[in-house]
Amino acid sequence: IDPKQIRNFSIIAHIDHGKSTLADRFLEMTGLVSDREKKAQMLDDMDLERERGITIKARSVTLDYKAQDGQIYQFNLIDTPGHVDFSYEVSRSLAACEGAILVVDAAQGVEAQTLANVYLAIENDLQLLPVLNKIDLPSAQPDVILEQIEHVIGLETDDACLISAKTGQGVDEVLEAVIRVIPPPEGKSESPLQALIFDAWFDSYRGLIILVRVFEGRMARKDKVRFMATGSEYDIDEVGIFTPKMAKVDSLEAGQVGYVIATIKTLDEARVGDTITHVKNSCESPLAGFKETKPMVFSGLYPTEAADYASLREALDKLQINDSSFVFEPETSVALGFGFRCGFLGLLHMEIIQERLEREFNLDLVTTAPGVAYRVTTKSGETMMIESPSKLPGAGDIEVFEEPYILGTILTNSEFVGGVLKLCEERRGIQKKLEYVSEDRILIEYELPLNEVVLDFYDKLKSVSRGYSSFDYHVEGYWASNLVKLDILVNGDLVDALSLIVHRDKAQSRATLLTAKMKELIPRQMFDIAIQAAMGARIVARTTVKALRKNVLAKCYGGDISRKRKLLEKQKAGKKRMKAVGNVQIPQDAFLAMLKVD
Ligand code: GTP
């Protein structure tokens, strides 16, 4: 195929602006999917994705499109997730493209992830094609939103398409505009091979599947290739394209996107961002790779039943095979026993992994409140990353204590600005920008400690703005802060899993709120339970869960055995998701109490 007939592009959008719906229309209109095969949202093939209505893993599909000029074009549509946690996947998908369709909801307008995605596209030198979607909605205001795109993003809208991905109106125009606006790839099939790995995953039938964009040269079955970063060499077993099913082809040529299968054992050998070249006649230098993703949010995962530890480890291993951004290592907690410290890209990523563990692997877990990685330099000059408060050196040994800061972008309606600013100030934010993007929409930028964001910032933002806000962020760096460790003691026993790191100015109020909340969450037992919060050796807050007066069995007067058994069973069921600390039963909720205060 002549590279002039190829277009490689992604669709980028804020969540729910209609990216998947538009992709589905493309698939239908290019005749690849028969009605029988049609399932809503074909590119999202994980059940969980469909249920949550979000796209977790990037996918690609090759479409043959017969244009109005009579020629057949090969479109490689690379699907990207829209959520802030997965911006790494967005950026690596974009690296395989020459352009992107920017979908903006004609009723909602530019949102935080619209901006974040546009910046990623611009960093990758992509040509953008603006598309206003949902013009069928009565609340659509195409003119206002076009103006917003020009003003906020600085993008010309002469080529913009006005469409409804739902009804199909205007979608054919988008396909034509793709040919006109997005440039064809430039490489030559005769050059030495240079192919970028932009995704890889494990398939239970086919083994490791690698998604590549061939920039120069061609690759075919039986070729001997080298992965430039790892230096390992393989024979290619198969190359092909997604239609969206896997379809073998003879070769992948310069400009094309497709998959490669070789006998590769682990995801580690096929690193995303690496360049594939031939062993003979290799290219001179690798393509620019990607920045490695670092997990930013950490939490402890423990099996409710100690016997499930091995199954939990197995499940974590399995999940990691398809998600290299998720990391874990064994951790022992005095309170919770054996478990794992897990690192995630963000809160949504964490929720998804936890949910998959419970759903797909049938595990009952106790999770601890999320925290971030701190950077500590000790008096002896050693610098270390602290991913768990329990690993923190004693206060006397710390020379510099730093925490990660983000730059957060918020778009909201003007009537909610007061509430949003108050929230950001409460979370130790520093305002960087506040500007109108249209008559009643405002763009706000704040520098915020990530620690204050991982604890329910997004939920609070939604509630102060009744859902009319969007939020996105990127990490700016580590800054020194006045931080302290707060410990929780239950009947005198330190519950390490509940320790947290907070700003000194907030320590007292957090301690009071937290102990009060724990009092609500821990059920009364046969004895008094003292809940204390401590900074070092100093107790700064205290509450007591009063003992139950009566024995539950006392009601049964010894008579009715079956009733007695029922009661005991009921109690047992209630204990699921409880962890015994000393002789106190602590429910899962209490381990997340920090998320539930204020
Ligand atoms: P993520 O995959 O979560 O990032 O979302 P998305 O951008 O892919 O959005 P999706 O295609 O799932 O659409 C979100 C919602 O908007 C769905 O309920 C669609 O049915 C609806 N929708 C999409 N396009 C249109 C449209 O043109 N008009 C109307 N009225 N609704 C639409």
Kindly state if the Cβ of 82 falls inside 6 Å of ligand 1: yes
Question: Per residue in 26-37, is it b (16+ CB within 10 Å) or e — as a string?
Answer: bbbbbebbeeee
Q: How far is CA 151 from CA 104, 123, 181, 415, 468, in A?
A: 14, 19, 21, 21, 20
Nearest of 220, 308, 298, 226 to residue 264 by alpha carbon: 226
Kindly state if the Cβ of 183 falls inside 6 Å of ligand 1: no
Task: Pick out the residues of the known binding site for GTP.
Answer: 16-21, 133-136
Q: DSSP class of residue 472? A: E
Which parts of the chain sit beneath pLDDT 70? 31-59, 81-88, 290-292, 322, 549-579, 594-598
Task: Pick out the residues of the known binding site.
Answer: 16-21, 133-136
Task: Give bridge partners of residue 353 from the DSSP assignment.
Answer: none
State both tokens at 398: 């710390």
pTM of the complete model: 0.76
Closest ligand 1 atom, CA of 54? 3
Distance CA 534, CA 540 (A): 5
What is the CA(176)–ligand 1 centre distance, in A?
22
Q: DSSP class of residue 503? A: E
CB-based contact 118:148 (threshold 8 Å): no
Kindly state if the Cβ of 15 falls inside 6 Å of ligand 1: yes
DSSP letter string, 112-125 = HHHHHHHHHHHHTT
Task: Give bridge partners of residue 225 from the DSSP assignment.
Answer: 234, 278
Kindly state if the Cβ of 20 falls inside 6 Å of ligand 1: yes
CB-based contact 28:38 (threshold 8 Å): yes
Distance CA 292, CA 582 (A): 42
Which of 11, 14, 16 for a ligand 1 pocket mutation test, highest count of atoms within 8 Å of Cβ?
Answer: 16
Kindly state if the Cβ of 117 falls inside 6 Å of ligand 1: no
Q: DSSP class of residue 3? A: G
Kindly state if the Cβ of 330 falls inside 6 Å of ligand 1: no
State both tokens at 108: 């909602």
What is the CA(419)–ligand 1 centre distance, in A?
29
What is the CA(328)–ligand 1 centre distance, in A?
34
Which residue's alpha carbon is at the smallest distance from atom 13 of ligand 1? 18
Which residue's alpha carbon is at the smallest distance from atom 23 of ligand 1? 18
Which residue's alpha carbon is at the smallest distance from atom 26 of ligand 1? 134
Distance CA 69, CA 82 (A): 33
pLDDT of residue 53: 46
Kindly state if the Cβ of 19 falls inside 6 Å of ligand 1: yes
CB-based contact 450:403 (threshold 8 Å): yes
Distance CA 201, CA 314 (A): 18
Kindly calculate the radius of gyration of the chain based on its CA atoms and give it in whole angstroms.
27
Kindly state if the Cβ of 228 falls inside 6 Å of ligand 1: no
Q: How far is CA 240 from CA 59, 197, 214, 237, 334, in A?
A: 14, 14, 12, 10, 52
Which residue's alpha carbon is at the smallest distance from atom 3 of ligand 1? 54
Which residue's alpha carbon is at the smallest distance from atom 14 of ligand 1? 16
Which of 12, 21, 59, 166 for a ligand 1 pocket mutation test, highest count of atoms within 8 Å of Cβ?
Answer: 21
Kindly state if the Cβ of 476 falls inside 6 Å of ligand 1: no
Four-point Cα dihedral 96, 317, 453, 369, nearest 10: 170
What is the CA(404)–ligand 1 centre distance, in A?
34
Distance CA 169, CA 172 (A): 8
Distance CA 127, CA 100 (A): 6
Distance CA 124, CA 340 (A): 37
Residues 80, 43, 239: CA angle, nearest 5 degrees:
85
Kindly state if the Cβ of 165 falls inside 6 Å of ligand 1: yes
Distance CA 346, CA 361 (A): 22
Closest ligand 1 atom, CA of 164? 27
Looking at this predicted complex, what is its ipTM?
A: 0.97
State both tokens at 420: 């949003």
Angle formed by the axes of helices 417-426 and 457-464, nearest 10°: 160
What is the CA(75)–ligand 1 centre distance, in A?
22
What is the CA(49)–ligand 1 centre distance, in A?
14
Cis peptide before 184 (omega within 30 of 0): no
State both tokens at 328: 């874990």
Identify the H or E element spanning 468. none
Which residue's alpha carbon is at the smallest distance from atom 15 of ligand 1? 16
State both tokens at 202: 């494990």
Which residue's alpha carbon is at the smallest distance from atom 19 of ligand 1? 18
pLDDT of residue 595: 67
Kindly state if the Cβ of 427 falls inside 6 Å of ligand 1: no
